[in-house]
Amino acid sequence: MMRLKYNKASFLTALIFSFTAVLLQFLLLAFVFKLAFASYGLILLLEFFGFFIGAYLILSYTLERFLFSRVKELYASVIPTTSYVSTISQFTDIDLLTSNLKKLNSDKNLEIDLLKKEQAYRREFIGNIAHELKTPLFMIEGYVLTLLEGGVEDKKTIKKYLSQTAKGIDRLNFVIKDLDLITKFESGMAKLNWTSFNIIETIKNVFELVARQAQERKISLKMDKVYNKPIQVYADEERIQQVLTNLIINSLKYGIERGTTEVGVEILKENKILVRITDNGEGINEEHLPRLFERFYRVDKTRNRNQGGSGLGLAIVKHIIEAHHEKIFVESEARVGSEFSFSLTLDQKSAL
Ligand SMILES: Nc1ncnc2c1ncn2[C@@H]1O[C@H](COP(=O)(O)OP(=O)(O)OP(=O)(O)O)[C@@H](O)[C@H]1O
Ligand SMILES: [Mg+2]
């Protein structure tokens, strides 16, 4: 059932219509039939109200039906045909239909904004990939073409060029492997291999893996204290090893020469532990912290490129930690140092 609401246009039209009808009658009765006003005045007044109410009801009902059918048509043309039948039949009221149209419109606008953002994001991502691949590729191309031209005779120089070419290929490999991993996590295809393992052992393994880099920068790599007992956690060991490697390598790359990188494990309540990687390196200005874990984000783009970073390391770390439903934190102060920490869950079955 349709509800009638006050409608100004119908009100004025009904008023004019009833006034004109009564006026015409008055003119007819008074000037043609020469009747005294007192004999029909009350009848005319009642007639006026009767005409007015009748005309107002008919007009506003017709107008509302007309508008309703037009809005309904419009609505039907903008919503998908599959949902049309089920949704349109619910509307018997023009206000409801109009508010739904407005909502539909704002939903669509939001959708368009989101698509535009995603498109810009994708464009930026592809641009970044191309850039990251181009740099080592140009280097490889340069050395290979020089060698092919045959002008270089000196064996030492040839070897140097070949080893630079190999470095470029390594770099390409790293970037492609990192991108592959990020894509797997983002598409939800990366599966975790959950096991119980001793995190202290894993940290020591990583120390061995990066020992050469630490030596090169004369950075001392150590645990914050002696851990006599194993600390068993339940996670994907290989991936957590990668998290530790990425964070520790960062602390070496952005740490000061003869500085210190310290790793500590703190047992929190509710079966959680916190692994901290602390350095006394260059630190990070506060303004960069919110974007630090974005892929390809680097604080100092020029200098980091010389150090071979592409800004994917922390994005991978974040993906791995989030896939474990754990959290990653960063605290840093420029020229003082940084501390990256992440939570892990203890393996409840094994005694501590
Ligand atoms: N321990 C740290 N101290 C100071 N700056 C850091 C530290 N760790 C990361 N950063 C800053 O954060 C940026 C992003 O780090 P991320 O590991 O994602 O990329 P990257 O090290 O440049 O490259 P990649 O890890 O892909 O080789 C770095 O470029 C660096 O500027
Ligand atoms: Mg890194």
What phi and psi values does residue 64 have, to the nearest 5 degrees? -65, -40
User: Strands 220-223, 337-345: parallel, antiparallel or unpaired by DSSP?
Assistant: unpaired
Residue 229 has which token pair? 């007992």
- How many angstroms does the Cα of residue 341 sit away from the middle of ligand 1? 15
User: Strands 220-223, 260-267: parallel, antiparallel or unpaired by DSSP?
Assistant: parallel
Three-class SS of residue 221? strand
With b meaning 16 or more CB within 10 Å and e meaning fewer, what string describes 176-193?
A: eebbebbeebeeeebeee
Counting from 1 in the atom list of ligand 1, the atom nearest the Cα of 308 is 27
Can you say how many angstroms the Cα of residue 268 is from the centroid of all Cα atoms in its chain?
30
Which residues, judged by CB distance below 6 Å to any ligand atom, belong to the binding site of ligand 1?
246, 250-251, 254, 279, 281-284, 292, 297-300, 304, 309-315, 338
Distance CA 273, CA 276 (A): 10
Q: Ligand 1 pocket test: which of 178, 261, 298, 331 has the largest number of ligand atoms within 8 Å of its C-beta?
A: 298
pLDDT digits (tens, 9 = 90+) for 99-145: 888 888 899 999 999 999 999 988 988 998 998 899 899 999 999 99
Could you report the average pLDDT of every consecutive run of 10 residues in the chain (352 residues)?
73 94 93 89 93 93 85 75 54 73 89 94 89 92 93 91 94 93 90 96 97 95 95 97 97 93 92 96 93 90 63 95 97 94 90 50
What phi and psi values does residue 148 have, to the nearest 5 degrees? -65, -35
pLDDT attached to residue 75: 77
Can you say how many angstroms the Cα of residue 121 is from the centroid of all Cα atoms in its chain?
10
Q: Which stretches of 254-323 are DSSP H helices?
A: 301-306, 313-323
pLDDT attached to residue 96: 78
HSE of 129, CA atoms in CB hemisphere, 13 A: 14
pLDDT digits (tens, 9 = 90+) for 177-187: 999 999 999 88
- Cβ–Cβ < 8 Å for 263, 224: yes
- Cβ–Cβ < 8 Å for 255, 215: no
Rounded to the nearest 10°, the torsion over CA 266, 212, 319, 122 is 150
Interacting residues of 96 by C-beta distance below 8 A, sequence separation 6+: 90
pLDDT digits (tens, 9 = 90+) for 155-201: 999 999 999 999 999 999 999 999 999 999 988 899 999 999 999 99
Rounded alpha-carbon distances, angstroms, from residue 71 to 89, 92, 180, 288, 331:
13, 12, 50, 50, 56
| Nearest bound ligand to the CA of residue 249 | 2
pTM score of the predicted model: 0.73
Three-class SS of residue 173? helix
What phi and psi values does residue 346 have, to the nearest 5 degrees? -70, 150
Residue 189 has which token pair? 């295809």
- How many angstroms does the Cα of residue 307 sit away from the middle of ligand 2? 10
DSSP character for 288? G
Three-class SS of residue 149? helix
Counting from 1 in the atom list of ligand 1, the atom nearest the Cα of 311 is 19
Q: Which of 271, 257, 273 is nearest to 200 (CA)?
A: 273
Interacting residues of 62 by C-beta distance below 8 A, sequence separation 6+: none
Q: Which of 206, 287, 216 is nearest to 248 (CA)?
A: 206
